Chains A and B, each alone.
Chain A
């Protein structure tokens, strides 16, 4: 079951920005890199951010990641209709010796 806590939903109008939080603990977010994944309906998750704030090739710079202590955030600026998806954070957990995922946030573009 999900160990990292995210808000269940977030929304904005086209062009606006939204920020999604990811709350963990010292064994995961506090001491290991955070990764963000985007999941469009009916598809597999797609890597959006790695190592807290790095974007893979092809990911628009509208997506940015940050972290502080045992929390991380994903910011989406200039919302577009195609950003409507579920977003998940993930991190290695040193106590569990495995990856843990967030509860997921559904982003709606109004």
Chain B
């Protein structure tokens, strides 16, 4: 059974970086049949996909346009996890952050079928 366990601080000071980690059990971050995503949810913005990383002979990174200049998603093969870093956070980055696995089989996308438990991140001084 695949599980994603999130960790990271729940409080971030404005203009500081936000860093979260998603540890994977039951699958591999280097899997050729998965992508590893970060999504956030806030009352004002709803569910918002932030980006993903995946391995297909090399690593790929795709980011949502509005955060592209501030976001980095990194895989860590030694620890079988992936991370989210969002720089220069403002109050608008206050949200519940989720990591999620998106599964592929024979090239077909089966959706984001496994989610982390969510981390509430508050940006405040």
- A residues sitting closer than 8 Å to B (CB atoms) are 1-2, 33, 35, 37, 43-47, 49-51, 54, 56, 88, 90, 96-104
Q: Which residues of A contact B100 (CB under 8 A)?
A: 44
* Count of A-B contacts judged by CB separation below 8 Å: 67
Q: How far does the Cβ of A94 sit from chain B's closest Cβ, in whole Å? A: 12
Give the one of A33, A45, A99 with max B CB within 10 A: A99
B118 at interface, CB cutoff 8 A: yes
Contact B118 A100 (CB under 8 A): no
Complexed CA–CA distance, A55 and B63 (Å): 28
Contact A50 B45 (CB under 8 A): no
A to B CB contacts below 8 Å, 10 in the list: A1-B46, A2-B48, A35-B111, A51-B110, A88-B46, A90-B47, A98-B49, A98-B64, A99-B39, A103-B46
Question: What range describes how many residues of B lie at the interface?
Answer: 20 to 34
Contact B110 A56 (CB under 8 A): yes
Question: Known contacts being A50-B110, A51-B108, A98-B63, is A104 close to B115, with CB within 8 Å?
Answer: no
Contact A47 B48 (CB under 8 A): no
Complexed CA–CA distance, A33 and B65 (Å): 21
Other than the known A50-B109, A56-B111, what 20 A-B pairs have Cβ atoms closer than 8 Å? A1-B45, A1-B48, A2-B46, A44-B98, A44-B115, A44-B118, A51-B108, A54-B110, A88-B46, A90-B49, A90-B112, A97-B65, A98-B51, A98-B64, A99-B49, A100-B49, A101-B46, A101-B47, A101-B49, A104-B47
